[in-house]
Structure 1
Amino acid sequence: MKIIVLNGSPKGNVSVTMQYVKFIQEKFPEHELKIMNISERIKKIERNEAYFKEIISEIDSADGILWAFPLYVFLVAAQYKRFIEMITEKQVQYAFKNKYTSVLTTSIHFYDHTAHNYMNAICDDLDMKYLGYYSADMEDLFKESERKNLTTFARNFFEDIKSGVVTTKNYLPISKKEFQYKPSLSPEKIDNHNQKVVVISDLIKDDSNLNSMVKTFKNSLDNVEYFNLNDIDIKGSCLGCLQCGYNNVCVYEGKDDFIDFYNKLKGFDVIIFAGTIEDRYLSSTWKEFFDRGFFNTHIPIFKDKQLGFIISGPLNQNSNLREIMDGYSQWQEANLVDFVTDESEDSNEIDMALQNLARQVIRSASSNYVKPSTFLGVGGMKIFRDAIYGRLRFPFQADHKYYSENGLYDFPQKDMKIRVQNMILILISKIPSIRKDIYQKKLKQEMIRAFENI
């Protein structure tokens, strides 16, 4: 069989993900796995129509498609996202329709599920026959048990294509409605209370709902700075080179305006992200913003800031995007105040929602309020904590320095008081009469005793 591997790594063949693909190639030489370096060559794909058509022709003639990529900030890389957008823009969905497909990713399992959800939804939107995913840790290939798992995954993929298994869709199509938001002319002015507010958008059309919503929000406050990503000189997307890991200096340093622009954002108390939903995310321009911000590596540079999202499009039909933005905010140790969309199709209601967002971000910023993290933030930070302390300490030395200085290496097993206490309690609980007394009479009360003084 002929399988087209759409490589989503900006590093091309010099990619950890491609080592997993090469392993499959060697295990199953009877099948042709043709690798097409999508992210690495996205500029050529955009400029050269003949080259784009060549890729689509290969996809159209294939028995199956393997989307293979490393995770980049909760999703695929911006370059890969741009290719996905081009499929619809150039109306070549026919090449993907009814093709069997699967997803292979490499990561440290930080929000790999949101990337898989996104790709599953994209495949469903393209009417592909989705056969599941394989989420590998970057170092799984060194383990015999994981090599066996990968072999099984690949064998099942080939066998399912050959037998023509029936697949079902996991995501309903997104329904978009035509609605023009018409804001009121005189929104209520809210005092900034000396809080610095910035709005960032990727606006292209002046007559869009997003443009109108941004204007309403800006007019609701005394002073708001504004940046359009399309007006900033950005030479390219993140290359995955990891040069920033040593001291947070990006390979693009001095070559474009992005780094200076991004560093300006650190001076604001409130940051509002404004974008329009494109397929199952925002635009690839927004993805480029989040990817290029990785020169700060795994350091939460928006810590304690207030974040808000103004989104045009059906966010309520896209819970994965909401989780990505919530997870991003919690990873940054920032406070996600709210989302405002134009879904209600009620201009007056949207006016009030935008003004309420302005009121809430100022109130939260003035009181330095950051809501406690959920699993999205706590679990994510523990993954980074363990990885940076261990196997990723060398490439990400800047992270290690920050984590050490800011108490993020909070390993609970190092708490000697708790260790001694557990040792004593476990020992005495082996005596039946004491164990019965503790578990049946004292445990519930003891759990709240320490709170009484508070």
Structure 2
Amino acid sequence: MKIVVLNGSPKGDDSVTLHYIKYIEKKFPQHVFTYLNVAHSIKKLENDLAFFGNVMESVKSSDGVIWAFPLYVCLVHSNYKRFIELIWERGAQDVFRDKYTASVATSIHFFDHTALSYIHSICDDLGMRYIDFFSAHMNDLTKETERSSLIFFAENFFESINKKIKTLRTYMPIEYNIGEYIPTEIKATVENKGQKIVIVTDSVDQTKNIGRMVERFRKLTQAELINISAIDIKGGCTGCIKCGFDNQCMYGKSDDIQMIYEKIRGFDIIVFAGAIKDRYLSARWKMFIDRSFFRTHQPLYTGKQIGYLISGHLSQNHNLREILQTTTEMDGANLVGILTDEYENEINEMMEDFAQNLVQFSVRHYIRPHTFLGIGGMKIFRDDIWGPLRFVFQGDHRYYKKHRFYDFPQKKYGMRMVNAILMTLTKIPPVKKTIRQNIKSSMTIPHKNVLKNK
């Protein structure tokens, strides 16, 4: 059986993820594996049509395809995203149709589900027969139990191909039926009340909805504009982790990234704008986002108000919406809203209300209580930076100590003492009975005290 591995790591053969596939290959020598380092070779894929054709021919002649990738900011690497875009741009979708496929991802399990959902949806859009995924922690290959799971995953994949099983489609096709956005005249600009506003976009093309949305919002709010398609970006994140020690990117000052991010952080209100391309924003946007990793796992926009202008069917793409909310919460910011051109005729009035909300929230310094997305995500970072990743991410460790992110429950000695006393008391039957009878009403006592005192 011929298996093609589409490697989504910019590190090529040095990829941690690829070692999981190599282990499968070692355990199943009867199959032939072909490794295609598509993320590492993205420039050649863009510029050499013959090389791209060879990659497509390998996929076409295969019995199964494995999408292997590390996570980069809730998704795949920008180069992998660009490879996926090329498939559609060059009309190569039929090469993938009916191919059996699976995905293997490595991470620290921080929003691995959103990256896996993205790849799964791409496979469904390509008409592939998606079998399963295997999401591993970076070091799971060193554990016998996880290796056993990996072997079963591979066995099931190969058996499914042999049996030509019927697969279920999880993601329905996105229906593209959004009309042309026509901006109306602006009768009065929104008073910014001293708040500095910036729009960060990858397109100012006035022939497209997103360009017209950006321009009207800029005029409405008198915001500054940053076009990331016009700035100098030498390349995507290389995954070298050199920034972990002191938050200095390997690119240094050779391009505009660090300067632009520091500039954006100087604004009170930040509006990101872009068009959906497949199931995410553009690869250019993803490259810009990936390169923010020089800040590693530290909040980037603490206290800021964040908004989005999106062109495309966000209502059919819950995964992208979740990613946008997640990254906002992890950055310590407040997501005021996401305005899309799905609203068509209502968009102009909604844009004015949207802008006013951004200003109002900024003046009040309002940060909505974070959900599981932000709280749970930060706990994953907290634990791993405290533990196995501390040496590599020393910048994070210093930041987390300074800002008291290490809020482990075992450090709350008062709570531990109270729990120990109460648990001891519940061993006395009459006390236990009384506590059980009053536990529901006692839960509201602190809240009643607040209401009484206010």
Residue 303 of structure 1: how far off its partner (Å):
0.8
Q: Note if 1:147 corresponds to 2:132.
A: no
Residue 446 of structure 1: how far off its partner (Å):
2.3
Q: Note if 1:353 corresponds to 2:369.
A: no
Map 1:24-423 onto structure 2 (within 5 A): 24-203=24-203, 205-221=205-221, 223-346=222-345, 349-423=346-420
Residue 356 of structure 1: how far off its partner (Å):
1.2
Letter of the structure 2 residue corresponding to residue 121 of structure 1: S
- Partners of 1:282 and 1:377 lie apart in 2 by 21
Going from structure 1 to structure 2, the CA distance change for 1:400 and 1:325 (only over 3 Å counts) comes to same
Counterpart of 1:443 in structure 2 is 439
Residue 47 of structure 1: how far off its partner (Å):
1.0
Q: Give yes or no for contact 2:204–2:215 (8 Å, CA) kept in 1.
A: no
State the secondary structure of the residue aligned to 2:323: helix
Residue 399 of structure 1: how far off its partner (Å):
0.3
- After superposition, what is the alpha-carbon deviation per residue over 1:220-242, rounded to whole angstroms, capped at 9, x for unaligned? 22x31001111101010000000
Q: Give yes or no for contact 2:96–2:127 (8 Å, CA) kept in 1.
A: yes
State the secondary structure of the residue aligned to 2:133: strand
Going from structure 1 to structure 2, the CA distance change for 1:232 and 1:362 (only over 3 Å counts) comes to same
Q: Give yes or no for contact 1:187–1:219 (8 Å, CA) kept in 2.
A: no
- After superposition, what is the alpha-carbon deviation per residue over 1:168-208, rounded to whole angstroms, capped at 9, x for unaligned? 11011001115111111124311111111000111163211
Q: Give yes or no for contact 1:388–1:396 (8 Å, CA) kept in 2.
A: yes
State the secondary structure of the residue aligned to 1:372: coil
- After superposition, what is the alpha-carbon deviation per residue over 1:52-90, rounded to whole angstroms, capped at 9, x for unaligned? 111000000000000000000000000000000000000
Instruction: Percent identity, please.
Output: 47
State the secondary structure of the residue aligned to 2:229: helix
- After superposition, what is the alpha-carbon deviation per residue over 1:374-395, rounded to whole angstroms, capped at 9, x for unaligned? 0000100000000000000010
Residue 444 of structure 1: how far off its partner (Å):
2.1
TM-score (ref. length: structure 1): 0.98
Q: Which runs of 5+ in 1 are unaligned?
A: none
State the secondary structure of the residue aligned to 1:451: helix
- Partners of 2:51 and 2:192 lie apart in 1 by 51
Q: Give yes or no for contact 2:101–2:130 (8 Å, CA) kept in 1.
A: yes
One of 419, 422, 426 as aligned partner of 2:423: 426
- After superposition, what is the alpha-carbon deviation per residue over 1:419-446, rounded to whole angstroms, capped at 9, x for unaligned? 1111111111011111111011x21232
Residue 418 of structure 1: how far off its partner (Å):
0.8
Letter of the structure 2 residue corresponding to residue 65 of structure 1: V
Q: Give yes or no for contact 1:188–1:355 (8 Å, CA) kept in 2.
A: no
- Partners of 2:186 and 2:370 lie apart in 1 by 37
Letter of the structure 2 residue corresponding to residue 140 of structure 1: D
Residue 212 of structure 1: how far off its partner (Å):
1.2
- Partners of 1:289 and 1:427 lie apart in 2 by 55
State the secondary structure of the residue aligned to 2:65: strand
- Partners of 1:119 and 1:2 lie apart in 2 by 21
Q: How many residues align structurally?
A: 450
Letter of the structure 1 residue corresponding to residue 250 of structure 2: V
- Partners of 2:447 and 2:177 lie apart in 1 by 52
Q: Give yes or no for contact 1:187–1:355 (8 Å, CA) kept in 2.
A: no
Letter of the structure 2 residue corresponding to residue 350 of structure 1: I
Residue 219 of structure 1: how far off its partner (Å):
1.9
Letter of the structure 2 residue corresponding to residue 125 of structure 1: D
Structure 1 consecutive aligned stretches of length 4 or more whose deviation exceeds 6 Å: none
State the secondary structure of the residue aligned to 1:109: coil
TM-score (ref. length: structure 2): 0.98
Select between 254-263 and 323-332 the one with higher mean Cα deviation: 254-263
- Partners of 1:40 and 1:171 lie apart in 2 by 28
Letter of the structure 1 residue corresponding to residue 441 of structure 2: Q
Letter of the structure 2 residue corresponding to residue 75 of structure 1: L
- Partners of 1:246 and 1:446 lie apart in 2 by 48
Q: Give yes or no for contact 2:178–2:342 (8 Å, CA) kept in 1.
A: no
Residue 451 of structure 1: how far off its partner (Å):
3.0
Q: Which runs of 5+ in 2 are unaligned?
A: none
Residue 453 of structure 1: how far off its partner (Å):
3.5
Q: Give yes or no for contact 2:329–2:374 (8 Å, CA) kept in 1.
A: yes
- Partners of 1:253 and 1:401 lie apart in 2 by 21
Q: Give yes or no for contact 1:199–1:225 (8 Å, CA) kept in 2.
A: yes
Q: Give yes or no for contact 2:17–2:106 (8 Å, CA) kept in 1.
A: yes
Letter of the structure 1 residue corresponding to residue 327 of structure 2: Y
